[in-house]
Structure 1
Amino acid sequence: MLSISRTLSLPESELVVRFLRADGPGGQHVNRTESAVELRFDVARSPSLPDAVRERLLARRDRRLTDDGVLVIQARRFRDQGRNREDARARLVEIVRAVLVPPKQRVATKPTRASKERRLAGKQQRGKLKQLRSTKPGLE
């Protein structure tokens, strides 16, 4: 069980873990071991996610989300497989936690009378400045 919050956890059966060969430092050892981890989580078909959370996850414009609604996380930061697996799981928890709380709805407000007056005064001032540019010096 991957615990996201007190009320939400994901069963291990919904997580697909694959191991790959990592690029980067490690010498000849890196060519023989599969230390990178690819974690896949099917957001669109997960029965353990509440509908609101699923919709917010799918609505995110995240390059790690495929067209089929599968979230793909690749972890290759560390040289050993276990740490990369934990890193991928931690990143999945972070992503899901980010959409748990619904965003606040924006309340539309009207500009105040003072802000309208300031805007109009600024426009008049700029207009006068431009008008002064057009007059020839000495021909006033």
Structure 2
Amino acid sequence: MSNYIKVFDSILFGSSSPEDHCEVRFCDKPLFNDTYRVDADFITGPYMHNRDKHNKKISAQDFFTYELKRASDLHRLVEEEFSALWEESDNKLDWKKYRESSEKIKSLDLNDAAIQDLMREAIVKIPEMQTGDMVSQVVPAKP
């Protein structure tokens, strides 16, 4: 939980209006996924639930040695997995509520259960019509 809080606090610190720039969705599926999309680029860790087109397992080494070219099979697999989880997620982080929860987490001496409860307070249901929203095709910012 502390890693999520550090990431979310960093986003709050670095953005004047995170609700306009960063949507964080949650699903209650028993899946492990650590793939993130920043602008038009995917950032992923060593774990995935896919295999390549020759039915060979994609390993942790692949993620650290391959640059994900947009035309590659590996990029397509990462994008499809990310999109599937995004579209099925039915909860999202409410940044205003999270800001309040974060302040309480920092200022009070809380146990893990209390921290989790505060985090749950900052997560809201996505209206039914928006849960299937496709991931937008973002044009990367110019350096």
Task: Give the TM-score, by structure 1 length.
Answer: 0.24
Q: Please give the TM-score of this superposition, normalised by the length of structure 2.
A: 0.23
User: Which of the pair has more CA radius of gyration?
Assistant: 1
